[in-house]
Structures are given as C-alpha cells and as structure tokens.
Amino acid sequence: MKRSEINAFLREAVVFFEKQKFHLPPWAFWSGDDWQNNHSYAGEVIENKLGWDLTDFGSGDFYKVGLILFTLRNGKPGGSHGKDYAEKIMIVREEQFTTWHFHWHKMEDIINRGGGNLVMQVCNSTEDELLADTLVTVQVDGITRQFDARGKIILKPGESVTLPPNLYHQFYGEKGRGMVLVGEVSRVNDDEKDNRFLEPVSRFSQIEEDESPLYYLCNEYPI
C-alpha cells in the first residue's frame, strides 16, 4: 500500500469515529516530534503495539480484504503481571473481508458498536486446522445459539458474539448498510504468534513511502 492511501484512510477513520462519538486517547494523534519527545514515557504503548493498525493482509486490494484497527489496551503475551486483557476498536467497510482465521489462545467478544450491520461467519476447526462441517455453538449476547458450518451471524448495532479459541471466523460489513464500528474485548492479543489464517496472509502490509505518515502505525513507532 502507498503511504498516501493509508493517510487518506486514517483521515476517513477519524471522521467516522467522531460521527460515532467514539473518542481516542490523545497520543493517537501525536506527530513524529511528539513521539520523539515522549517515547520514554510511552513504553506500554510501544511494547504492546497499541494504536493505529491498518492492513490489506497482503491482498493488494484494501477495499476487498482489509481492516482498520486501533488497539486501546493490551498486555504482554505470556506475561504473569500487568494486564491480561485487550481492547480494540475497528472499522469494517461494506463487503470488506477479514478472512477465515482463529486464535490458539485468545477468546474474544466482537461487538457491533454502531453504523451498519456486521456479518460474522463461524466454523469449527478440524484436528489438522481446516474448516469442519459440524454445527457451531456460540454465545450471542450471552444466549446460546447454534449455526451451520460457515453460518452467518448478523450483528446489528449493540449486538455481540463470543468467539472461543480454535473457532474459525471471518467477517465483513453487510452490503448497503454502511461502514461498521466494531469493538473487540479479549484476552491478551498477540499478532505475532496467535493468528491461524486458513490461507497465508501478511498481517502487516508492505508500505510504499510516497509521503510522510499522518500517524504512525503500531508496528513502526520511532524509538
């Protein structure tokens, strides 16, 4: 992706957050100089990869396969002290996929915080980590429900689903409903070692630097 494209998407994200009345911490908008002046105080942000995260998963087509995330809080994987939980806010476009994946350790609640409808597909995993054909049992807002393999859960604003470890899922915004503000509350998040994608992807995009960053992404803070 080009840096200019990322900057444009981040500007759009800020407007959408404001429209949905979701507020980010002040350091979300720090400049390069701000990071240089404050990096010694922002160890948790830097080490735990809090902040902006925008990826096309190596697809080359962000509108088709991609996601904007902002990690608000997170602990250290395997850490015995400190936070043992994480929280993210995400923006999902209409028919923009985050493709089939599961987590070996992380349990998470995915919440529609506002905007359009979120389509969540779920599927059990086999012993060799492929898609199973068995019925899926999940909690939707605390209510036990069953779905066919690859079944669709339509989450309207205010609704949520709990995803246990080893449960495949993919999601996208429902066509014609607009962008979706999606929350995630989970155990500690580890993008380096706890993502099992059905098809190989690049978790962090390669960036062509055609202009300066508007905001640094969580994997590129100047330290």
Q: What is the pLDDT of residues 118-137, one digit of tens each?
A: 999 999 999 999 999 999 99
Q: How many domains does the chain have?
A: 1
In a domain, 206, yes or no: no
The pLDDT score that the predictor gives to residue 99 is 97
The domain containing residue 80 runs over which residues?
3-197
In a domain, 30, yes or no: yes
How many other CB atoms are found less than 10 A from the CB of residue 95?
Answer: 13
The pLDDT score that the predictor gives to residue 77 is 79
Is the entire prediction scored with pTM above 0.85?
Answer: yes
Query: Exposed, middle or buried: residue 96 (CB in 10 Å: 0-12, 13-18, 19+)?
Result: buried
The pLDDT score that the predictor gives to residue 204 is 84
In a domain, 223, yes or no: no
CATH code, domain carrying 117: 2.60.120.10
In a domain, 215, yes or no: no
In a domain, 203, yes or no: no
In a domain, 214, yes or no: no
Question: What does the alpha-carbon distance between residue 66 and residue 138 come to, in Å, rounded to a whole number?
Answer: 25
Q: What is the pLDDT of residues 51-68, one digit of tens each?
A: 999 999 999 999 999 999
Q: What is the pLDDT of residues 167-222, one digit of tens each?
A: 999 999 999 999 999 999 999 999 989 999 999 998 888 899 999 999 999 999 87
Question: What does the alpha-carbon distance between residue 127 and residue 83 come to, in Å, rounded to a whole number?
Answer: 31
